[in-house]
Structure 1
């Protein structure tokens, strides 16, 4: 079989045999293309999107995207939705589920006809860690009550990201994890797994394979329901014992995916951290984090607020504060 045909078989049906895989005259020899449990790893140059689009359009799937913009993260909504509208599953039906504590701050964005936005009010928490860890529970509850009737596949994505290249149906599968850009080249024992045995997220030394980013994961609605329910159960049990996993929900995600293997892995192209130097093997940066320093921005806000109280209010001071704040905000984002 020619290369594109064989690759399309592997990407649509991930449980393939080594014999079939050996027939591929692959155009990538510089990266790992398949996991030890024979799940494909998606890189640029390993799929033909035209073939995949033709196959998936016949099935008329609806894909959901859950994302959270709470507190200061509302500033990332426009960049996220604008880039997702352009690059995420172009031509396919997508429901964006945006959770926010500031619905009134959601900008008006003209989405493509096949894409819909649902704004869902949600409470905030004093600590960002609590916001992060409660996402699993919120997603699980909404799958049970609504989303299982509305979408076929569901993906959770961070709001503080932007897309720069097309992300298409090559991401669709039963259970999908994204390999962390921070951990891809590191030995297994140096990965950021939770190692303290008291935590429900603990992975013993010597165990583990890939390290997955909580910024982008998903799969079929039923599998994401199992994942989020199990992870939040672990979070709840840790809380009851006064424990907080090293990387919060991401630690619990990695524990789950270690023992419930993903049927497809997305390479670090699908979530690149801008703090890292991009190596040659990352030919395409499809999605990446937005550079920011929210802690510094919050400190600056408090500092400027204090200046207003200490000095006599005047229009010139307000103008200076506004100019300085806007200038610094652009620098740290």
Structure 2
């Protein structure tokens, strides 16, 4: 009787084992088939395989009790500009946000913002004004880490920084062509995110050094992926945008496509999102180079291609990227960041 019971137990265990084995084989086959049949964007696939470690940033929009600020309205506000994109991303203009409320929400988060600038060759002469004006207007009250890429580290000026703000100087090679300097910017930002920035920063802004801050640039600019509208084309239609129009280029945008023309002097967002952008733009740039193609406006052309199909979650108005030679228009109430007037023949190795 005992022997018969043991046989029944063994048979039962054997049957259970067979069912488990068949289930495992079926599940493995189904999963493999699903993965094989699901299309994957190659750019996104390659970038996801080598994404750097990043810090968690999921936070609630918490404001203090008894905070006094102007009551918002759904009926009153700016009517001379559009403050939202067709995909519902905010466009940041003066008068479309409350700086008191924004600061109250974001400053307690203890965020760190990485900021990259390239001061290669004679462009190092713009670095002092950039840093000194940034200390007055850029992300005041936040932790900021400046990353200065230069071939002249000994010419980097000493600037007084407020508490929680630091400068890292990273030596990079110079070049006889400014186009090559522009081309390598995406690569250098990508590799620096991998090696340094991803470990210490929540957000990153990549800015042009030949510029100065003139007014507040704060937490209203923070977002997952942030772009800025080029001041020279915000009044133009897409057929006048200087997109890359040659189909052979990886930066190609057809004549009947395009949202805005974004300036290459500012890229921003979560560290991992900017990492993906720089990696994909770099790869596309290198494909063009292998085919002896140089896009119309180098990295800016590839940036616009990327942002057309990977929509920014926040768009900054031309207030955040003006040009000193342009007169302020009625729509631009405040100039926050502006490219300085310069003689390109004096500062560029080639024109």
**Bin for the TM-score computed over the shorter chain:** 0.7 to 0.9
* 3-state SS of 1:235 partner: helix
Aligned residue number for residue 114 of structure 1: 164
State the alpha-carbon separation in 2 of the partners of residues 205 and 298 from structure 1: 32
The partner residue of 1:90 within 140, 145, 150 is 140
Larger Rg: 2
**So what's the TM-score if we normalise by structure 2?**
0.78
1:274 and 2:274 correspond = no
- 2:104 maps to 54
Match of 1:100 in 2: 150
Q: C-alpha distance in 1, partners of 2:246/2:174? A: 29
Q: Quick check: 1:233 aligned with 2:283?
A: yes
Partner of 1:288: 338
RMSD, matched Cα? 1.8
Q: 1:23 to 1:51 in 2, by over 3 A?
A: closer
User: How far does residue 284 in structure 1 lie from its aligned partner after superposition?
Assistant: 0.2
CA contact (8 A) 1:26 1:46 kept: no
- 1:217 corresponds to: 267
What SS is found at the alignment partner of 1:91? Answer: coil
SS at match of 1:214: coil
| CA deviation map 1:213-237 (0-9, x unaligned) | 0101110000000000000011100
Measure how far apart 1:132 and its partner are: 0.7
Aligned counterpart, 2:226: 176
Aligned in 2, Cα 1:255/1:297: closer, same or farther, shift over 3 Å?
closer
Q: Are residues 1:129 and 2:179 paired?
A: yes
Q: How many residues align?
A: 281
Q: State how far apart, in whole Å, the 2-side matches of 1:24 and 1:144 are.
A: 43
Q: How much has 1:23 moved relative to structure 2? A: 6.3
Offset, 1:133: 1.2
Secondary structure of the equivalent of 1:29?
coil
Residues 243 and 48 of structure 1: is their aligned pair in 2 closer, same or farther, counting only changes over 3 Å?
A: same
How far apart are the structure 2 equivalents of 1:70 and 1:193?
26
Residue 297 of structure 1 deviates from its aligned partner by 6.4
How far off is 1:205 after superposition?
Answer: 1.0
2:205 corresponding residue in structure 1 = 155
The aligned residue for residue 88 of structure 2 is 38
Secondary structure, aligned partner of 1:212? coil
**Which of 275, 300, 307 matches 1:250?**
300
Residue equivalent to 1:317? none
**Alpha-carbon distance between aligned partners in 2 of 1:156 and 1:243, rounded to the nearest angstrom:** 25
Structure 2 portions without partners, runs of 5+:
1-60, 63-71
